[in-house]
């Protein structure tokens, strides 16, 4: 099976390192890069062509919602998951309206991330039974 190529986007180097570490042990998933702002994410997507972008909601330069809007109109757009510490339904609604495929609270990351990846990227190397991707 092909690898699932993931770009991680967050303005916290500590958070990025922890998610890279979490995903490094998962067969079939490759973290192809990281970015620390929405603007940098757009540049990296153009070069790296990931299957999935896991992106923080609040970042400097360009937030995750604005970046998701730009990604949503690409001809070969990656799947987008907006991550945040905020659980408010208004944030979830805004993320989905911006073109994100799903929304994930960071406190749920360890339990929900892998099932969500498997759901969104059916056919990649992240095998397993799909589950509800709505975090």
Q: Looking at residues 117-129, what average pLDDT do you find?
A: 65
Mean of per-residue pLDDT scores for the chain:
87
Question: Is 131 a domain residue?
Answer: no
Question: Is 130 a domain residue?
Answer: no
Per-residue pLDDT tens over the stretch 10-51: 999 999 999 999 998 888 899 999 999 999 999 999 999 999
Question: Is 132 a domain residue?
Answer: no
For 1, 19, 41, 80, the CA distances from 56, given in Å and listed in that order, are 28, 12, 11, 10
Question: Is 86 a domain residue?
Answer: yes
pLDDT of residue 82: 95
Q: How sure is the predictor about 133, in pLDDT bands with cuts at 50, 70 and 90?
A: very low
Q: How sure is the predictor about 109, in pLDDT bands with cuts at 50, 70 and 90?
A: confident
Question: Is 78 a domain residue?
Answer: yes
Whether the pTM exceeds 0.85: the reply is yes
* Neighbour count for residue 77 (Cβ, 10 Å): 15
The domain in which residue 66 lies consists of: 4-120
Question: Is 60 a domain residue?
Answer: yes
Q: Looking at residues 69-98, what average pLDDT do you find?
A: 91
The number of distinct structural domains making up the chain is: 1
């Amino acid at each position: 099976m092909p690898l699932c190529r993931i770009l991680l986007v967050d303005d916290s180097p500590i958070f990025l390192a922890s998610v890279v570490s979490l995903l490094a042990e998962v067969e079939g998933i490759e973290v192809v890069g990281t970015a620390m702002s929405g603007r940098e994410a757009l540049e990296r997507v153009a070069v790296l062509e990931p299957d999935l972008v896991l992106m923080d909601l609040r970042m400097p330069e360009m937030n995750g919602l604005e970046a998701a809007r730009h990604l949503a109109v690409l001809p070969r757009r990656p799947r987008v998951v907006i991550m945040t510490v905020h659980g408010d339904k208004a944030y979830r609604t805004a993320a989905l309206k911006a073109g994100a495929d799903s929304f994930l609270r960071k406190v749920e990351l360890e339990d929900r991330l892998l099932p969500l990846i498997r759901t969104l990227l059916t056919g990649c190397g992240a095998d397993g039974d799909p589950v509800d991707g709505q975090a």
